[in-house]
Amino acid sequence: MYAFEIERPTTIAAAVAALGFEGAQALGGGQTLIPSMKARLASPAVLVSLTSIPEMRGVCLSDDGMVCVGGATPHALVAVEAAQYFPALAALAGQIGDPAVRNRGTVGGSLANNDPSACYPAAALGTGAVIITDRRRIAADDFFNGMFSTALHEGEIVTEVRFPVAEKAAYVKFHQPASRFALVGVFVAKYADGVRVAVTGASEGGVFHWAEAEVALSGDFSAAALDGLKVNADGMIGDVHATPEYRAHLVKVMAKRAVAGAT
């Protein structure tokens, strides 16, 4: 990889200042960025490491029923510490990559990268999470702008994510066994005002709401409520691992399993 300068701020304010330099790039856990730099797909002039900022790390429950996760919190910590508040979220974090990847990768990094097959975007969209940055709050519904694209501005840092705790929820993921990303993953969450269904791994547009399923499940929260629905294969990802038709089929299968397993 190409050489770069290092910044290791210990406060959010210092990180924002460091990211103001031309060619600066935030480094979370590095589980995507470092391989990208090795492949010379990314070549930042300055890397601003976000993992030495105590105020960006940790898990807690807010008074208004949201699980608050610091942007630089590794998946392994969420898998353990969110379990008492929001088991479906903890289970999702505990299925990302493998144990060594989960000890480094962070929620902020995952959301900012918005890989179309990543797990966390499904949790954010599936819960209607609030993504808090150094300068504003962004609703998950307004955050994801298609594959590897988000509403974040240049140098903007995801400092915290707030996930509203559902009455019932589950994430079911069909693992792509080589990469351990989701071939298809579906997050289903039931709230007092309706059901949310978010799908990752399937669409060329990245994570998306499965609106028909949300309507059907809001009327009847059972796997059978999805029986009459069909997912269109147009715009689905097709690669050596699965055709668009297969992914479309998996969306419904994973969604039904998620509804059946929701707790």
Question: What residue ranges bind other proteins (CB under 8 A)?
Answer: 1-6, 8, 30-31, 34-35, 37-38, 47, 49, 51-52, 76, 97-101, 103-104, 178-180
Q: Residue 25 Cβ, how far from other proteins at the closest point, in Å?
A: 12
Sheet holding 5-7, edge to edge: 5-7, 46-49, 24-27
Cβ-contact 199, 207 below 8 angstroms: yes
Q: How many CB atoms lie within 10 A of CB 219?
A: 10
Min CB(6)–other proteins separation in Å: 4
Minimum CB–partner distance for residue 223 and other proteins (Å): 25
| Torsion sign, CA atoms 125, 119, 9, 58 | positive
Residue 173 and residue 254 in contact, taking contact as beta carbons nearer than 8 Å:
yes
Q: How far is the CB of 49 from other proteins (least distance, A)?
A: 6
Q: Quick one: tokens of 29?
A: 């856990």
How far apart are CB 73 and other proteins at their closest, in Å? Answer: 13
CB proximity list for 165: less than 8 A, separation 6 or greater? 61, 65, 66, 67, 85, 86
Q: Residue 181 or 210: which CB sits closer to other proteins?
A: 181
| Closest C-alpha among 212, 182, 187, 78 to residue 122 | 187
